[in-house]
Structure 1
Amino acid sequence: MTLVLSILLLTNAIFAFMVWPQFMKRIAADDRSTDADGNRTKFYSVHRKLITIALILAGISGVAGVVGLIFG
């Protein structure tokens, strides 16, 4: 069971690290990310925070998956 959960956690981490940075590039290029003066908007800031949290959680999942594989 530990092996299955560890693989699931690692799969989640790999998927997140593949998807979220690409999504951030799309957010940064979106017209709603900057105002008329070229300053970043709340749209950009909120997405940046959400993506940062998602990547932190992915990192934790990755570490937990590796620990599970090694010590499980």
Structure 2
Amino acid sequence: MVLFLSLVLLINAVFSFTVWPPFLKRVAADERSTDAAGARTRFFTVHLVLISTALVLAAVAFVAAVIGFASLA
């Protein structure tokens, strides 16, 4: 069971680290991310917070997966 859960956590972490950074680039390039003066908008800030949270959770999942795999040795 530990092997299965560790594998799920690892897949989740890899998926998150693969998907979220390109999405942030697309959000940053979106016209709604800046106002007329060039300052960042709430649209960008909200997405930045959501993506940052997802990446922190992915890092935690990765660490948990490594700990799980290490416990099998």
Give deviations 1:9-31, integer Å, cap 9, x for gaps: 00000000000000000000000
Across the aligned residues of Structure 1 and Structure 2, the Cα RMSD in angstroms comes to: 0.5
Partner of 2:44: 44
Count of residues in correspondence between the two structures: 72
Partner of 1:9: 9
CA deviation after TM superposition for structure 1 residue 53, in Å: 0.3
Partner of 2:27: 27
Write the distance in 2 (CA, Å) between the matches of 1:42 and 1:2: 41
Any unmatched runs of 5+ in structure 1?
Answer: none
Write the distance in 2 (CA, Å) between the matches of 1:59 and 1:10: 10
Write the distance in 2 (CA, Å) between the matches of 1:63 and 1:39: 36
Tell me the TM-score normalized by structure 2.
0.97
Tell me the TM-score normalized by structure 1.
0.98
1:64 aligns with 2:64: yes
